[in-house]
Amino acid sequence: MSSVHSYLATPKASIETLQSFGLYTKKKLGQHFLIDDNVIGRILDAADLSEDDYVLEIGPGIGVLTIALLKQAGQVLALEYDSQLIEVLAHTTQECPQLTVLNEDALKIPHLDLPLQPTKLIANLPYQVAATNVLDCFEYVPTIKQATVMVQREVADRMAAKPGTKTYGAYSAKLQLLAKPIESFAVSRNSFLPPPRVDSSVITLVRRSTDESLVTDIEHYRKVAALIDVSFAQRRKTLYNNLRGAAIDADAAMDALCQAHIDPSVRAETLAPGDFVTLHSFLLGSV
Give me the mean pLDDT over the 199-215 stretch.
96
- Give the separation between CA 206 and CA 191, rounded to whole angstroms: 25
pLDDT band at 2 (very low <50, low <70, confident <90, very high): low
Percent of the chain with pLDDT over 90: 87
Domain residues of the chain, as ranges? 11-211, 218-283
At 147 the three-state DSSP class reads strand
- Give the separation between CA 54 and CA 75, rounded to whole angstroms: 5
pLDDT band at 29 (very low <50, low <70, confident <90, very high): low
At 185 the three-state DSSP class reads strand
pTM to 2 decimals?
A: 0.94
- CATH number of this structure's domain 11-211, picked from the four choices 3.40.50.150, 1.20.1250.20, 3.20.20.10, 3.40.50.300: 3.40.50.150
User: CB within 8 A of 167, min separation 6: which ones?
Assistant: 154, 157, 158, 161
Q: Given this model, what pLDDT does residue 226 score?
A: 96
Amino acid at 58: I
Q: Given this model, what pLDDT does residue 247 score?
A: 80
* pLDDT tens figures, 100-128: 999 999 999 999 999 999 999 999 998 88
Average pLDDT, the chain: 94
**Is pLDDT above 60 for 1?**
no
Give me the mean pLDDT over the 161-188 stretch.
97
pLDDT band at 26 (very low <50, low <70, confident <90, very high): low
Contact 27, 193 (CB under 8 A): no
User: CB within 8 A of 242, min separation 6: which ones?
Assistant: 230, 231, 232, 233, 234, 268
Give me the mean pLDDT over the 218-236 stretch.
95
- Give the separation between CA 45 and CA 42, rounded to whole angstroms: 5
Q: Given this model, what pLDDT does residue 33 score?
A: 87
- Give the separation between CA 126 and CA 45, rounded to whole angstroms: 22
* Size of the chain, expressed as the number of residues it contains: 287
Contact 177, 194 (CB under 8 A): no
* 122 sits in which H/E element: strand 120-124
Percent of the chain with pLDDT over 70: 97
Q: Given this model, what pLDDT does residue 27 score?
A: 64
- Give the separation between CA 39 and CA 191, rounded to whole angstroms: 8
Q: Given this model, what pLDDT does residue 281 score?
A: 95
Gyration radius of the chain's alpha carbons: 21
Indicate the Cα dihedral angle 243, 249, 252, 253, nearest 10°. Answer: 10
Q: Given this model, what pLDDT does residue 76 score?
A: 98
**Farthest-apart Cα atoms in the chain, separation:** 68
* CATH topology for the 218-283 domain: Helicase, Ruva Protein; domain 3 (1.10.8)
- Give the separation between CA 245 and CA 230, rounded to whole angstroms: 8
